[in-house]
């Protein structure tokens, strides 16, 4: 069975995605610099983490 490269899919899903630490709104951006939350205007953003495997 052919296996899709998981890392590729993960990169597409999580790369350049940032989450607002205040309201958890997600934003796609090239970098964290000068990134403001669209919802609350906060610049307290973090990179989206990969979903934890259980
Ligand atoms: Zn926000």
- Whether residue 2 is predicted with pLDDT greater than 80 in this model: the reply is no
Q: What proportion of the chain, given as a percentage, has pLDDT over 70?
A: 85
Residues 6+ apart with CB under 8 A from 34: 43
pLDDT-based confidence at residue 9 (cuts at 50, 70, 90): confident
Distance, CA of 47 to CA of 43 (rounded, Å): 12
Please compute Rg for the chain using Cα positions. 13
Distance 2 CA to ligand 1 centre (A): 40
Distance 13 CA to ligand 1 centre (A): 20
* 32-52: pLDDT as tens digits: 889 999 999 999 999 988 766
Distance, CA of 11 to CA of 4 (rounded, Å): 13
Distance 19 CA to ligand 1 centre (A): 8
- The full set of domain ranges for the chain reads 13-47
Distance 16 CA to ligand 1 centre (A): 16
Torsion of CA 28, 21, 23, 15, to 10 degrees: 20
């Amino acid at each position: 069975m052919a296996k899709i490269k998981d890392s590729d899919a993960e990169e597409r899903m999580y790369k350049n995605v940032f989450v607002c630490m205040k309201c958890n709104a997600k934003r796609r951006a090239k970098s964290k610099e000068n990134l403001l939350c669209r919802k609350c205007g906060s610049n307290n953003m973090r990179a989206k983490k990969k979903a934890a495997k259980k």
